[in-house]
Structure 1
Amino acid sequence: MSHGDLYDAIFDDEAYSQLPAMVAAVAGGRSCTLYHFHPQNPLPDLQFSYFSRSLIDDFMSDISDDIWMNAGMATGIVNKAIALDSFVPEPVYRASWLWNDLFRAHGDDTGHSLGIVHKMDGMVMCSAIQRSFSSGAFDREEVAKLDRLATDLHRVYRARHVMRRQSERLSHLAELLHSGGEKLLLVDGELRVIEGSPAALRLIERKDGIDIQEGRLCLADPHLTLAIRKAAEDTIHRRPTQRATFLCLRPSGAFPLHLLVLPAMHAARSSCVIVINDGQMREDRLQLWLHQHYGITPAEASVALALLAGRSPEEIGETRQVSVATVRSQIRQLLEKTGTNSVTQFIILLNAIG
């Protein structure tokens, strides 16, 4: 299986539907199932090869009784191939619902499984390869073959998950670019800005870590600019990319910018959209919470937000034009008012609130 095949599965639903057969072939399996799983609510996104539709429907109706999946989850091993025969001996499997009420009931002789558990954003994605009893258990070489594919599969699932959440919004790209709320930039592979939403352009006008120079997007950190340009080029040319999300620190000490690179179409040509989140809503929520629950003043809240953004007392003092001694005094007040014993504990508290 090539990287191109995997990358096609991110954008193309037809290619994604063919992914199970390709994954099964990698490790000598006969069948493969790829599905999202939630402990209380199985999601309907499932792709499979070889099995009949009726068998899959019965499987989804009682997915919580999948003894192989439950064994894989119980190991705590994530993003790594597991030979499930090691955890579910044959006598146990033959006594299970999976064998008696599913496979055997459908005249199927599936008896061995190899799988990967991928965890992301509160959900679990399972990749499971199966074959018949007569084919024997999966050996170490076959486990290693699937293991080498694990990172790429996880990247496909995560990219599809992110794109699914954004797809409805980005399907109305023209409307969003002309609206006042979303911070979006439509760019080409060289980060030339084709169009920007009003909110994004207002943010860029502040020149606080992000700017447009000679028509191109520029970040305060030139290495970050190069990394985002690489992601944009890969996205437009449908190549595998190592990163799609980026964190940009701002000289003012404000919350870092979070940038997400996503594919888009413009004038019937591939381009990409950079979604910018400047954290302003989170700042407002944290300031209100700190004031209501701990009596923290606006000046102290400003120091708290700077600490959360990773700033040192010296950097905070320079940005706010006060002495380091004043900043350290305000930090002591923050710890005392919130009942925390260190800046680390205080940051943990802020993350729990936000």
Structure 2
Amino acid sequence: MNNTVIPFSSPDAGEPEQLSLNEVELDRYNQLVSVLYRCLHENTGFTPFFEAFQQHFKALQGGIMAVTRNPQRIRYGWTFGHPEGFAQWYINSDLPERDEALTRFSNQPPRRFTSFLEGRSDLSILDMLSEESRAWTEQVNIGDSAGMLVSMDEECRIIFMANRQKQHGPYTHRELMQMNLLAPHIENAVTLHLKLYQTSSNNENLSLALNHVNKALVVINALGTVAQANDAARKIINHNSKLKLSSDGRLGSTDQQLARKISDAIAASIVNSHQGKLEPATLFVQGAEERAALNLTPLTAENPENNGVLVELFSFDNHDSADQEKLQRLFHCTPAEAAIAGELMKGLSSSEIAEERGISVHTARQHIKNLLAKNGYKKQTELVAMLVRALG
């Protein structure tokens, strides 16, 4: 069998060492590069490359993620291999700020893969993690994690990372060398992909279309920035003391905690859009005289670069109560259930509703279960989104 010698710059040496790939390895490497660039031509996102990478390197889960610097949060990304609902939970948790893998790979020199164990089977990744990270790492049975810094700017660092289960052993030096051959191609593909997204966000026809709709709508592109916001949406944002459109084109808030919630919700919806999940999310903004509700729905398109998030904005007077008769009629519910629905429209949890109305938490939850069952919704997030849309 023939060998092909390719120079590779070792992380521990200034001079390139010689990496010898046999015919099978070279063929697989060429296939990976081909699949990676074909993702750009065929508008398929990175899913085909993730699948090929998973198979070749026995990777369990990971993705390409844009990570803000301070605090360390996920802004957008493409993921693979995670269980249902994990990405949304992770983005909205505090884990990104303390995730040792994100920190490690974000601080590496660009275009260079490394791993936690660096080929050593006598080490354990669990000894390198915090207690909180260690808990879910053990649960998923992760044995090693490899990654690279793809690119960075003043706001974000884009990283590629791939976790591997314990039974496959640590990523070997040879595997890391092969990944490093892919590194410049991954950087090129991600850079080109982001340019496609940025180009697709500049759409005058979209702006004209949104302004013909009476509802307040904002379209967020797959980079988490505002592609378009119609006049009705801008009016609500401008009149709300806590909402704002920032100079860098992002929907945010003057309140730091709320700004983080909005950013996290947008990031989770973007990830869901790449996975074809249309689960809505609703955020509530409480002001002195009025409150606003933001319904976020992932947008999926034939071309993944047109994926993103549709944000519907609703404004409510704090002194107005929900129309109980309308709630009963539209949602087929009793007066008691309609009262609970009205509280859900204010963004209250079941425990907060119980305290507000002087009932037990069990009773509040039972009313919510009834509302879900009567209207065919599986999740409370879907019910809340529809309540806001129906009466907003």
**Range class of TM-score, shorter chain:** 0.3 to 0.5
- Bigger RCO of structures 1 and 2 (CA < 8 A, at least 6 apart): 2
Task: Determine which structure has more spread, i.e. the larger CA radius of gyration.
Answer: 1
Higher helix residue share: 1
The TM-score, its normalising length taken from structure 1, stands at 0.42
TM-score, normalising length from structure 2? 0.39
